[in-house]
């Protein structure tokens, strides 16, 4: 590197700090936003790497389960609309991860109990071994995210048994086995719920413009099957049934693999995690990074960075940092869904 460029490379982070007029505390410019060297472990934003969440231990018996939908919207976003800086080569367009929580009362208007729902991901051992100190989120929305980090049970129904669709344990998923985590085909669901006219009583069907198991009266699916999904990239019918586990063998993204509770290979039922409340709408939130707002053109909410020091509490030195769970909760009155969009989330250890 020639001398003048070396000098620019050194002074740029300092200049950036002064231009932001906010160099007064350690949460002002994150390692991710500055150009310091750092160790970073990106967490997946791919739909198929996230799964229905086990129930957080702090959610008590008064809560029922709402519904979370998660997907990568068809419309991608230029990096420069998310951050106040230029993209690295080859990273100019960002695929966002959108999470929508439907409170119980959205689906059942007469209900009068609070509800929760969420998703979780197994992230392997990298974070445990690299000793990152912070989890950072670049996201936008108006809702409260509950973020659990640490060791999180994979046992969705709490029976300590690892449900898998691969009932004959031969490592492949036949059409007959692809019935979802409830273990019932639509025909069996109709009998179990005494609901013979409902095409999908468990509400667990995967369906995408003609692919999968139709969750609607068949003539409605015939209409959907004839549509071009590129005309509906931002429409709910694009993602309404994308997370279904019944019939998703036809989803190319699943690679024909069975759905199962066991995400890690070891079927973890231990809970040892910390929970953080990240209110995306609140610049007074403990984890909000000052000066990090950036509005995409026409957007109601800005992109913001939240920086979570996740160690301590229930995470001891020996605790595995193998899971992230993101969930929402609603009181008994909430009728509108919560939506959050995540551009990036990652573990980081500043390397100054
Ligand atoms: Ca189980
Ligand atoms: Ca099913
Ligand atoms: Ca079904
Ligand atoms: Ca399946």
Ligand nearest to the CA of 159: 1
Each residue's pLDDT tens digit, 60-87: 999 999 999 999 998 899 999 999 887 7
- % pLDDT > 90, the chain: 77
189-233 residue pLDDT tens? 999 999 999 999 999 999 999 999 999 988 899 999 999 999 998
Residue 251: nearest ligand to its CA? 4
Confidence band of 351 (pLDDT split at 50, 70, 90):
low
Distance 199 CA to ligand 2 centre (A): 11
How far is the centre of ligand 2, averaged over its atoms, from the C-alpha of 95 (Å)? 30
What pLDDT score was predicted for residue 87?
Answer: 74
Domain extents in the chain: 3-157+263-350, 186-254
SS3 119: strand
Q: Which residues surround ligand 4, an ion (CB under 5 A)?
A: 178, 245, 248, 259
The kind and range of the H/E element at 327 are strand 323-330
Segment 276-299, tens digit of pLDDT: 999 999 999 999 999 999 999 999
pLDDT band at 34 (very low <50, low <70, confident <90, very high): very low
* Rounded Cα gap, residues 329 and 107, in angstroms: 15
230 CA distance to ligand 4 centroid (A)? 25
Q: What's the pLDDT tens digit per position in 310-347? A: 999 999 888 899 999 999 999 999 999 999 999 999 99
Nearest one of 271, 265, 253, 266 to 313, comparing CA atoms: 271
Strand 38-42 to strand 64-65: parallel, antiparallel, or no bridges (unpaired)? unpaired
- What's the 106 CA to ligand 3 centre distance in angstroms? 21
* Strand duo 144-151 + 323-330: pairing: antiparallel
Per DSSP, which regions of 207-288 are E strands?
Answer: 207-208, 211-212, 272-279
For residue 117, how far is its CA from the centre of ligand 4 (angstroms)?
A: 20
Per-residue pLDDT at 5 exceeds 50? no
Ligand closest to the CA atom of residue 216:
3
Mean pLDDT (whole number) for 104-119: 97
Give the ligand whose atoms come closest to the C-alpha of residue 213: 3
What separation in Å is there between the alpha carbon of 213 and the centre of ligand 3? 8
Task: Give the Å distance between the CA of 62 and the centre of ligand 1.
Answer: 21
Provide the pLDDT for residue 292: 95
Using the Cα atoms of residue 309, residue 311, residue 312 and residue 314 in order, give the sign of their dihedral: positive
Counting beta carbons within 10 angstroms of the beta carbon of residue 145, is it exposed (0 to 12), middle (13 to 18) or buried (19 or more)? buried
Residue 31 has pLDDT above 70, yes or no: no
Q: What pLDDT digit, counting tens, does each position of 221-258 carry?
A: 999 999 999 999 889 999 999 999 999 998 999 988 99
How far apart are the C-alpha atoms of 126 and 108, rounded to whole Å?
Answer: 41
Q: What confidence score (pLDDT) does residue 39 get?
A: 64
Average pLDDT, rounded, for the chain: 88
DSSP calls for 5-57: HHHHHHHHHHHHHHHTT--SSTTSS-TTTS---EEEEEPP--GGG-EEPPPPT
Give the residue with greater pLDDT, 185 vs 21. 185
pLDDT of residue 8 exceeding 70, the answer is: no
């Amino acid at each position: 590197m020639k001398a003048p460029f070396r000098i620019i490379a050194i002074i740029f982070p300092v200049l950036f700090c002064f231009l932001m007029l906010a160099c007064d505390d350690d949460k002002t410019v994150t390692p991710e936003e500055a150009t310091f060297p750092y160790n970073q472990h990106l967490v997946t934003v791919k739909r198929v790497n996230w799964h229905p969440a086990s129930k957080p231990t702090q959610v008590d018996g008064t809560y029922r389960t709402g519904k979370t939908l998660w997907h990568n919207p068809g419309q991608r976003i230029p990096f420069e609309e998310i951050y106040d800086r230029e993209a690295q080569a080859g990273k100019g367009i960002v695929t966002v991860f959108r999470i929508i929580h439907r409170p119980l009362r959205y689906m059942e208007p007469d209900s009068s109990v609070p509800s929760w729902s969420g998703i979780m991901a197994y992230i392997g051992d990298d974070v445990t071994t690299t000793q990152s100190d912070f989890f950072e989120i670049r996201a936008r929305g108006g809702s409260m995210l509950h973020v659990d980090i640490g060791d999180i049970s994979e046992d969705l129904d709490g029976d300590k048994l690892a449900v898998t669709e691969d009932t004959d344990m031969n490592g492949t998923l036949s059409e007959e086995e692809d019935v979802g985590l409830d273990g019932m085909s639509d025909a069996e669901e109709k009998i179990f719920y005494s609901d013979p006219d409902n095409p999908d009583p468990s509400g667990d069907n995967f369906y995408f413009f003609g692919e999968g198991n139709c969750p609607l009266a068949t003539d409605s699916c015939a209409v959907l099957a004839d549509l071009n999904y590129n005309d509906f990239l931002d429409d709910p019918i694009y993602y309404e049934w994308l997370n279904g586990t019944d019939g998703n063998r036809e989803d190319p993204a699943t690679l024909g693999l069975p759905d199962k509770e066991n995400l890690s290979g070891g079927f973890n039922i231990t809970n040892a995690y910390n929970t953080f409340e990240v209110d995306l709408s609140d610049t007074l939130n403990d984890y909000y990074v000052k000066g990090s707002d950036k509005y995409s053109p026409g957007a109601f909410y800005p992109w913001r960075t939240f920086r979570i020091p996740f160690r301590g509490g229930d995470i001891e030195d020996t605790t595995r940092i193998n899971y992230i769970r993101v969930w929402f909760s609603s009181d008994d009155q909430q009728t509108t869904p919560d939506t959050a969009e995540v551009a990036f989330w990652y573990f980081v250890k500043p390397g100054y």
